Amino acid sequence: MPSVVPKVKLNDGFEMPVIGLGTYNADNIVEVIASAIDSGYRHFDCADIYGNEEEIGTALNSAISAGKVKREDLFVVTKVWCTWMARGRPTISAKRSLKRFGFDYLDLLLIHWPTPYKQDKDYYPLDSTGQLIFDDTINLADVWKEFEDIKKSGD
């Protein structure tokens, strides 16, 4: 990997490295992140549902503390899961992710999948027949508006 990964300028002026590391399903994620930073990765694609944001935060904060990288040189992405799309819940989800990462800000917050599920303690709420329960009362335009509000407020 080149020492300087090319970046693309986003519509808000921020720049995102074009090469990123997906963090889904890595058993040894702390070691993977440390090795990725040493190899030049600065873009990390994360998500609440992956269940490893705290470990990723530990690894990234360790690299920052060791002087290997600065927080402002990282581009950390996370995603709001399908059961977190009801009004107010994307903001809560983002704040929970920030706490798990141990960060003051995220570089990019995404909707994981644009298919709202019923709000539930489980990631995949199922009815009595085992079918996934969607929430057709949620308007994705309203979810998007909340994402815009999160960005404006800095939460």
Q: Which of 24, 41, 50, 124 is catalytic?
A: 50
Active site residue 50: yes
Nearest to 24 by CA among 111, 112, 104, 146: 112
| Helices vs strands, H then E, count in the chain | 4, 6
CA–CA separation, 125 and 37 (whole Å): 36
What residues contact residue 22 under an 8 Å CB cut-off, 6+ apart? 45
Run of H or E residues at 63? helix 53-65
Query: How many C-alpha atoms does 38 have within 13 Å on its Cβ side?
Result: 9
Residues annotated catalytic, as ranges = 50
